[in-house]
Amino acid sequence: MFSRKMMMIVGLVIVLAVNIIILSINSRQENTSHGAGGIAISLIAPFQKMVTGTLRFTHQVWSHYFNLASTAEDNDRLRQLLRKAGERDRRFSEIDVANSRMRSLLGFQRTMDRKVIAAEVIGKDPSPWFKTVIIDKGSRDGLNKGLPVVIPEGVVGQITEVAAGYAKVLLIIDQNNAVDALVQRTRARGIVTGETTGRCRFKYVLRKHDVQVGDVLISSGLDGVFPKGLRVGAVTSVIRRNSGIFQEVSVMPFVNFEQLEEVLIVLDPSTSDDKDAS
């Protein structure tokens, strides 16, 4: 059984062969009469028309096919170029964001009275009980336990463990951390400690002191760890109960710990002096 496509091809070949034979016979009959020639033309013309139309249609189909193939190749090439351009744009955007952060850190560094070292956050504690991060600087960079860690937005935490090239930072949102702080507006004093909610609480603030929602808390410098005047957080709620001598104050830290990537470690003056001398 021949396929329909094969039958069409065979039929086209037969039509072409018949057309060629008739044209050949007609051209060799030199003495053919005008009437006979007209009859031959009448018989041949439909076949010629059909053959010409078939050839024209075939040529258009092939031309269209090649045009489509060329267009597809162009589309693939353009998609590849677009993908590469998108990758370059993402890389440039990330570099621009990183440069912006570094400029902010450098600008903040110039405002510090003590020397600082920049470090990158390379890990976070996955446990829900401890709020810590790992940075890529350690004892060989002059770091030791107890040094404060900050960024331009505010206080980050305190170094609790040190290795040669790494250190662990206890964040201020950890319940084991504490920052002696002041209400910047009224100078009311208390202790900022972490909570399991990822926020902080301003403890031991006397009920008589004026503390309002929106007040900014800064480090007092009295704990011997954090230099005075560093931003800690903003007051989000104040509760003054009828009994007790303290008020309950909730605080939202200024630092977004979910997006923490680079930090500054404030060096101890004696440590930085020894390092410069060496």
Domain CATH code at residue 204: 2.40.10.340
Task: Identify which has the larger pLDDT, 207 or 5.
Answer: 207
Distance CA(19)–CA(4), nearest Å, equals 22
Distance CA(187)–CA(172), nearest Å, equals 20
So what's the pLDDT on residue 152?
87
Is position 201 within any domain? Answer: yes
Distance CA(106)–CA(116), nearest Å, equals 10
Is position 272 within any domain? Answer: yes
167 pairs with which residues across the strands? 135, 162
Is position 43 within any domain? Answer: yes
* 273 and 139 in a common domain: yes
Over residues 63-77, mean pLDDT: 68
* 124 and 61 in a common domain: no
So what's the pLDDT on residue 209?
94
Mean confidence (pLDDT) of the chain = 78
CA atoms within 13 A on the CB side of 98: 8
* 187 and 126 in a common domain: yes
Is position 241 within any domain? Answer: yes
* 272 and 163 in a common domain: yes
Q: Which domain does 174 fall in, by range?
A: 116-277
* Phi, psi angles (nearest 5°) of residue 37: -65, -40
* 136 and 30 in a common domain: no
So what's the pLDDT on residue 33?
46
So what's the pLDDT on residue 21?
61
So what's the pLDDT on residue 268?
80
Is position 111 within any domain? Answer: no
* Phi, psi angles (nearest 5°) of residue 55: -65, -40
Range with lowest mean pLDDT among 108-112, 143-147, 232-236:
108-112
Residue 272 clears pLDDT 50, i.e. is over it: no
Q: Would you state the structure tokens that stand for residue 255, as one six-digit string?
A: 């630092």
Dihedral, CA of residue 253, residue 264, residue 182 and residue 238, to nearest 10:
0
* 256 and 129 in a common domain: yes
* 151 and 54 in a common domain: no
Is position 81 within any domain? Answer: no
| Residue linked to tokens 């206890």 | 170
* 244 and 129 in a common domain: yes
Polymer length of the chain: 278
pLDDT tens-digit series, residues 213-252: 999 999 999 998 998 999 999 999 999 988 889 999 999 9
Is position 59 within any domain? Answer: yes
pLDDT tens-digit series, residues 19-34: 666 555 555 554 444 5
Q: How many domains does the chain have?
A: 2
pTM of structure: 0.62
